């Protein structure tokens, strides 16, 4: 959705408490990975990036860091300058520069529902912004009462009272990592039952629901109700909302056995992984890159489909099929080869005997021919002698 020019030109002082609350909840969370803007400069993707783009000095930013609501303080400084730059349109541009399209989408959705700003028709006779005040029903927790607006949390912890010691350690560690946690102890007194406020927190105010599994947890009807509510809400919204922790070993119902659990190992026991590190990683919100936006800071690569004959500029290498060199199998049996050897031997012997016989016959013939020629010559001489005598 494209926000109309009227809303983009409005001052940030006209933001509703809902839009301010979303900005604070998402920008107050520290982001480790920076983003690269169109000017090729690295900037933080949280309230620090917003502060740098509206030219808040380092000294002032150091003071803002100690505030409970850093984003709210940055907006207050920006609006207080009265230089005409603190507009909704400029805020949307900054959100795109620091690569926070998740917040951009949330702001756009609020604008489509007429919940982003207070329009001119809602102004008083002195042109003062008449911001809608939250009702008593919307103030559920002590944080809501203290800040005057409904708060959003990173996680709601659902547990049995017998596991209170472990949950206190969990809350301390997660808050030290910058997460905003909520439990049943944060509810304001005076509610008729806890089912309505806790259900509202689970379905509307908390991004994750931490389930601390133990035998006592499964025996609680209230925990079973809230657990089923969280599961149904996650299925409806198509989100990974439940973070199950196996604190004390117990037999889970069938519909919960399909979830992957984090297993807690008491100190002194060998653990397959660092439990608290895994829990912190599970609570972190990952901002996926938006490849549909032309101003995204991620690499803009034109990916072309490669055909079968295209080799990306390299000479195609013929595919060589490697085979294991094995000796070719013999096509003749051992008995047949022996028979051939015997045949060859006999043939050679026969040829030798034949050649010897031939030579002997030649010798005999030559002997006979000599005798015959001798006798013939003698006969011829006798005839000559008889002729002479006569």
User: How far is it, in rounded angstroms, from Cα 140 to Cα 203?
Assistant: 13
Predicted pLDDT at 223: 92
Judged against a pLDDT cut of 50, whether residue 56 lies above it is answered with: yes
Beta strand 181-182 with 206-213: parallel, antiparallel or unpaired?
A: unpaired
Judged against a pLDDT cut of 70, whether residue 234 lies above it is answered with: yes
Which domains, and CATH codes, for the chain?
Answer: 1-130 (1.10.533.10), 137-289 (3.40.50.10140)
Predicted pLDDT at 244: 94
Q: Which residues does 353 contact at the CB level (< 8 Å), separation at least 6? A: none
Judged against a pLDDT cut of 90, whether residue 166 lies above it is answered with: yes
Count of CA atoms in the C-beta half-sphere (13 A) of 1: 14
Which region among 113-122, 124-133, 316-325, 339-348 has the lowest average model confidence (pLDDT)? 124-133
119 alpha carbon, distance to own chain's centre: 42
Q: What is the pLDDT of residues 237-288, one digit of tens each?
A: 888 889 999 999 999 988 888 889 999 988 877 778 889 999 999 988 655 4
At CA 367, angle to CA 366 and CA 371, rounded to 5? 115
Judged against a pLDDT cut of 80, whether residue 205 lies above it is answered with: yes
Judged against a pLDDT cut of 90, whether residue 10 lies above it is answered with: no
Q: Which residues does 363 contact at the CB level (< 8 Å), separation at least 6? A: none
Q: Could you please report the per-residue DSSP string of 118-147?
A: --GGGB-TTS-B-PPPPPGGG--BHHHHHH
Partnered with residue 242 across adjacent β-strands are 209
- Report the chain's mean pLDDT, rounded to a whole number: 77
Q: What is the pLDDT of residues 69-126, one digit of tens each?
A: 899 889 989 988 888 889 999 999 999 999 999 999 988 888 888 888 876 555 444 4
């Amino acid at each position: 959705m494209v926000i109309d020019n009227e809303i983009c030109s409005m001052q940030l002082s006209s933001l509703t408490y809902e839009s301010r609350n979303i900005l604070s909840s998402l920008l107050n969370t520290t982001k480790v990975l920076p983003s690269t803007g169109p000017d090729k400069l690295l900037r933080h993707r949280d309230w620090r990036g917003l502060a740098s783009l509206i030219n808040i000095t380092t000294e002032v930013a150091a003071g803002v860091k100690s505030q409970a609501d850093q984003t709210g303080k940055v907006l207050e400084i920006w609006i207080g300058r009265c230089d005409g730059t603190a507009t909704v349109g400029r805020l949307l541009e900054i959100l795109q520069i620091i690569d926070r399209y998740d917040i951009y989408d949330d702001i756009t959705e609020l604008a489509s529902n007429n919940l982003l700003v207070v329009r001119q028709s809602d102004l008083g006779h002195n042109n003062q912004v008449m911001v809608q005040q939250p009702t008593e029903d919307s103030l559920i927790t002590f944080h809501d009462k203290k800040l005057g607006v409904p708060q959003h949390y990173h996680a709601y912890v659902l547990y049995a009272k017998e596991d209170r010691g472990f949950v206190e350690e969990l809350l301390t560690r997660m808050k030290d990592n910058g997460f905003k946690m909520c439990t049943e102890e944060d509810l304001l007194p005076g509610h008729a039952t806890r089912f309505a406020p806790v259900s509202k927190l689970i379905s509307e105010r908390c991004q994750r629901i931490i389930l601390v599994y133990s035998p006592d947890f499964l025996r609680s009807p209230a925990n079973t109700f809230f657990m089923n509510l969280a599961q149904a809400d996650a299925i409806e919204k198509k989100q990974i909302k439940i973070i199950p922790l196996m604190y004390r070993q117990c037999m889970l119902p069938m519909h919960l056995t399909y979830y992957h659990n984090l297993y807690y190992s008491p100190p002194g026991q060998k653990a397959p992984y660092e439990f608290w590190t895994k829990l912190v990683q599970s609570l972190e919100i990952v901002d996926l890159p938006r490849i549909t936006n032309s101003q995204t800071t991620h690499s803009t690569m034109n990916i072309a489909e490669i055909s079968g004959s295209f080799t990306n500029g390299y000479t195609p290498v013929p595919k060589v099929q490697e085979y294991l060199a094995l000796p070719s199998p013999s096509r003749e049996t051992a008995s047949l080869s022996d028979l051939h050897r015997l045949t060859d031997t006999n043939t050679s012997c026969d040829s030798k005997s034949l050649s010897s016989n031939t030579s002997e016959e030649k010798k005999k013939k030559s002997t006979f021919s000599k005798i015959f020629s001798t006798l013939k010559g003698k006969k011829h001489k006798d005839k000559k002698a008889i002729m002479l005598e006569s």
